[in-house]
Amino acid sequence: MKRLVLLSIVIIMIAGISCNNNIQKADKKDKMLLTKNIQYDVFIESPFGCDDRWWKDNIERSKRFPFVKKIVKQVYAGDVKSYDLENNLLTVEQAKNMGSREDTFTFQRRYEPYDGYDTIIKKDLNPKQINKIRFEEEWYFDDKTLEIEKEVTGICPMYASYDNNTGEQRSESNPLFWIKFDNNKQAKTEKFLLTERIQYDVIIKEHKGGNKFLNTFNIEKLKFDVDTFINTIINTVFNDKVKAYEYDPYDFGNVILTGKEIKNSLTRIDSITLQKPYEPYDWYDTVIVNTFNYKEIAVIRFLEEWYFDEETLEIEKKVLGICPIIPAYDNATSEFKGYKPLFWIYFNDRYPPKE
């Protein structure tokens, strides 16, 4: 009788796992595959400095340091496979050398003839130097709710380098190695919450200007129809089919905006002075209405929750909200001035925070 009860429990558990997998597959079938392969970089240690809004381009220090140490430890111990940028499998020694640096120093002997001599000092990677993660992902998109689902297929930790003369951090980080994930694998260890929220920007369209620290990726890796994707977001918001919230630069906006309000805020009215092409060639003022062009959107800001598997080093992302962004230029000089966030769309009941 006991054996029968145990067998029944095992069958129920297997059925439950199978059911959950089928639910996940069904969820993905309901969404459109945007891209099978997109790569972009995310800061996990903010180069801008952190204030009370610690989640911007940053994982809190108490979780960040154990996270990067675990990555290095697992790879250096050979417990997780690593690959170079050309997708060639690395040995443990090759992986260790990826982050090491050899510097040549000139010293003077302390005895006659006090001549100078060169020596090479090898410096191993300090995990605390890892300030970015390059992600390789699949993106799925629900064209009704505008929700984006990301499946991380690989990560590449990147470490900061500094100018030897000034000590300032360089804008570019150095890639170490790729760690690839088998997302079809059934047996997985439990993931723990790496960060309850992290906010960062992803460039989805090439544009002039840009902050030297803004994460970039190979534009050629973007394999989906960006214009259709953005047009769907704008039309859905303009037609009030999803809730859109006012962008608040100091926190998460919690004022709901109608599609009409958003459309009006994106319409620019300029008054210019022109000269008539005939006598007496007098001057006159005219008003030009510049309507919003969705193709101007070049960046998507993400708000996410991350989970981490310490054994496989897999990262799981839950997208909490998105914010489309347009680059802003000087009207007179066309010089790039910065970025203008438009509105927030949330996919989690915790956002926007209740007042």
Question: What is the predicted pLDDT for the residue at 107?
Answer: 67
Tell me: pLDDT of 8 over 50. no
- From the number of C-beta atoms within 10 Å of its C-beta (0-12, 13-18, 19+), residue 40 rates as buried
Q: Which residue has the tokens 């790729």?
A: 178
Question: What is the predicted pLDDT for the residue at 78?
Answer: 95
If phi > 0 it is left, if psi is from -120 to 50 it is alpha, else beta; for residue 191 that is beta
Instruction: Return mean pLDDT, the chain.
Output: 80
Give the integer Cα–Cα distance in Å for 78 and 92: 6
* pTM exceeding the 0.75 threshold for the entire prediction: yes
Between 331 and 289, name the one with better pLDDT. 331
Question: What is the predicted pLDDT for the residue at 227?
Answer: 87
82-86, 140-144, 160-164, 328-332: least confident range: 160-164
- Grouping H, G, I as helix, E, B as strand and the rest as coil, residue 5 is helix
Question: Mean of the pLDDT values across residues 237-260?
Answer: 90
Tell me: pLDDT of 1 over 50. no
Report the alpha-carbon angle 128-132-136, nearest 5.
135
Question: Mean of the pLDDT values across residues 231-253?
Answer: 91
Q: Are 96 and 124 in contact (CB under 8 A)?
A: yes
Question: What is the predicted pLDDT for the residue at 173?
Answer: 86
Tell me: pLDDT of 216 over 60. no
Q: Report pLDDT digits (tens) over 334-349.
A: 788 888 899 999 999 9
Between 35 and 163, name the one with better pLDDT. 35
Question: What is the predicted pLDDT for the residue at 168?
Answer: 64
Give the integer Cα–Cα distance in Å for 58 and 47: 9
Report the alpha-carbon angle 217-266-341, nearest 5.
35
Q: Which residue has the tokens 């400095």?
A: 49
CA dihedral sign of residues 166, 171, 175, 181: positive
**Before 280, cis peptide (omega within 30)?**
yes
Under the banding of pLDDT at 50, 70 and 90, the label for residue 9 is very low
Reference 313, options 128, 189, 141; nearest CA is 189
Between 60 and 332, name the one with better pLDDT. 60
Question: What is the predicted pLDDT for the residue at 220?
Answer: 47
Question: What is the predicted pLDDT for the residue at 291?
Answer: 72
Under the banding of pLDDT at 50, 70 and 90, the label for residue 6 is very low
Reference 139, options 311, 339, 304, 310; nearest CA is 304
Tell me: pLDDT of 11 over 90. no
Q: What are phi and psi of 219, to 5 degrees?
A: -55, -30
